[in-house]
Amino acid sequence: MPKFVKIILIILGLFTIALYLKNPPKTKTAKDNFFIGSKNVFTKTFTPEDNLQDLINKEAQAKEATWAIAIKNLKNNKTYFWNENQSISSASLYKLAVMWAVFDQINQASMTFDQPIGNTNVQNALNAMITVSDNEAAIALAETIGWGKIDNIMTNEGLTGFDLAQEDPHVTAKSASELLERIYRDTAVSKEHSNQMENLLLSQQINDRIPKYLPKNVKVAHKTGELDFVRHDAGIVYGKKADYIFVFLTDTQHPGNTPEEIAQFSKKIYDELEK
């Protein structure tokens, strides 16, 4: 081999050794070996629902009123909250607790549907209390069972946000949401009674809030509340892509505008969950 070729090879060899010493190969750790082939396994995938909490925050912060919101996608169990544990005057949402208690008493054979109550019976009083929010029917049912007993039933079921022990019943958005989910999951008293409660809520006649701007073929099982400065709606929405719970409680100095605000916000929530 010519001498000048040997010199070139030696130089190249020395250059290679120098590069190796300057940039030695990284030794793999146990952690590196664990992640071989799966480096991106935890990369976040954004969905339309990621905008939902931002939407809730933006809408609620823009209002002078007190809002309490609980939303749960019943398909993937994602939840979205705003002041969900704030206790607010329940208005007629206390009737959800009375309804549960009536079916609880029927399940225990302590009450029957045809049992006389006032000038009607338990079945008719239930229908009036839920579908048209009849106050006389609600009070008659509650006093037959006992306000304290109804409150205890809610507490025993873990629905502690319902407070019927005081003169002005209170509720939290979270507990109202949990009660509705129990009905949806057929675990409110029993499967049969859950279905009966659901059918009552589906027969609601006051539809100026959650259902107002939703497609006509979308069913909503819900109960409204209205008293002085509070306006509420709490329901199960049977969407095309996902069923979800939407509870909206408000305490405001401008209650006349609130049903429309709830209706518009309901449509925004529906559109996000249907993307």
Could you give the CA distance from residue 240 to residue 56 in angstroms, rounded to a whole number?
21
**DSSP E strands: which ranges in 37-98?**
66-73, 79-82, 88-89
Within 13 Å of residue 247, how many CA atoms lie on the same side as its CB?
29
19 and 151 belong to one structural domain: no
Confidence of residue 38 (pLDDT cuts 50, 70, 90): very low
Residue 112 lies in a domain: yes
The whole-number pLDDT of residue 63 equals 84
Q: What interhelical angle do 173-184 and 191-202 show, nearest 10?
A: 120
Q: When comparing pLDDT for 195 and 51, which is higher?
A: 195
The whole-number pLDDT of residue 13 equals 59
| Average pLDDT in the chain | 88
Tokens 């969900």 belong to which residue?
84
Which tens digits make up the pLDDT trace of 98-125? 999 999 999 999 999 999 998 999 999 9
Residue 238 has pLDDT above 90, yes or no: yes
The whole-number pLDDT of residue 43 equals 38
Q: When comparing pLDDT for 31 and 89, which is higher?
A: 89
Which tens digits make up the pLDDT trace of 144-178? 999 999 999 999 999 999 999 989 999 999 999 99
The whole-number pLDDT of residue 45 equals 42
Could you give the CA distance from residue 162 to residue 234 in angstroms, rounded to a whole number?
14
Residue 174 lies in a domain: yes
The three-state secondary structure class of 251 is strand
The whole-number pLDDT of residue 162 equals 99
Residue 195 lies in a domain: yes
89 and 127 belong to one structural domain: yes
Confidence of residue 64 (pLDDT cuts 50, 70, 90): confident
Q: When comparing pLDDT for 61 and 89, which is higher?
A: 89
Residue 101 lies in a domain: yes
Give the range of the structural domain holding residue 17, as residue numbers without chain letter.
3-34
Q: When comparing pLDDT for 189 and 48, which is higher?
A: 189
Residue 153 lies in a domain: yes
Could you give the CA distance from residue 194 to residue 92 in angstroms, rounded to a whole number?
20
CA 221-66-101 angle, to 5 degrees, is 40
Could you give the CA distance from residue 258 to residue 262 in angstroms, rounded to a whole number?
6
Sign of the alpha-carbon torsion through 177, 75, 207, 249: positive
Residue 35 has pLDDT above 50, yes or no: no
97 and 231 belong to one structural domain: yes
Residue 125 lies in a domain: yes
Burial degree of 269 (CB within 10 A; 0-12, 13-18, 19+): buried
Which tens digits make up the pLDDT trace of 193-226? 999 999 999 999 999 999 999 999 999 999 999 9
Residue 28 lies in a domain: yes
16 and 115 belong to one structural domain: no
List, in sequence order, the alpha helices (H) in 62-203.
Answer: 94-107, 122-131, 135-145, 147-156, 173-184, 191-202
Residue 1 has pLDDT above 90, yes or no: no
Could you give the CA distance from residue 70 to residue 27 in angstroms, rounded to a whole number?
50
Q: What interhelical angle do 52-61 and 258-273 show, nearest 10?
A: 160
Q: Confirm if 98 and 150 have CB atoms less than 8 A apart.
A: yes
